[in-house]
Amino acid sequence: MKYLIVGLGNPGEKYSETRHNIGFKVVEKLTELLGGTFRTDKLADVSELKFKGRHLVCIKPSTYMNLSGKSVNYWMQQHKIPKENIVVVTDDLALPFGKLRMKGKGSDGGHNGLKDIQAVLNSTEYTRLRFGVGNEFNKGQQVDYVLGEWSNEERETLNKRIEVATEFIKSYSTIGLQLTMTNWNNK
């Protein structure tokens, strides 16, 4: 069984520690925990991992957030991975900081990375793991907030929440979406 694990974010040091790059942080931690490394390849940094007999292809698109669909589609085709075996890890302003929620389908919620993936795949039928980044910003300051760095208070628990996010992904690849949602969505 092959799975495509997509961490959404923007390439480059400038964005490395921003809220918008939490998807990159989650796939980096998963790769570290499973003893893998990333290589720069077409349209993404890629890590191929083995976990309990599953083949996890983790990508960090190098296309920038708003063009993530191109990278997702390319790696789906390369590895012949169906939409049902994709997990997209994304930041979510609608969830409080650190709250994690997995869903099997849904709208883009105004997220430009998800919007592009849905346009390219012509579907909303793929799993997404939403990582809450909170919404502590003034009206009109959304872009500055998501492209801003974590607060000191957030940094204190950030790594623990990233590790929980990796557990969602490992669970999804072994026991599937429904049981993972049941077991993990309220942790």
20 is catalytic: yes
Neighbours of 90 (CB within 10 A): 25
Helix spans in the chain (H) = 22-33, 68-79, 112-121, 142-146, 152-175, 177-184
42 phi/psi in degrees, rounded to 5: -65, 120
Torsion 6-8-14-17 (CA) sign:
negative
Say which of 20, 55, 79, 111 is annotated catalytic: 20
Distance CA 186, CA 163 (A): 15
Catalogue the active-site residues: 20
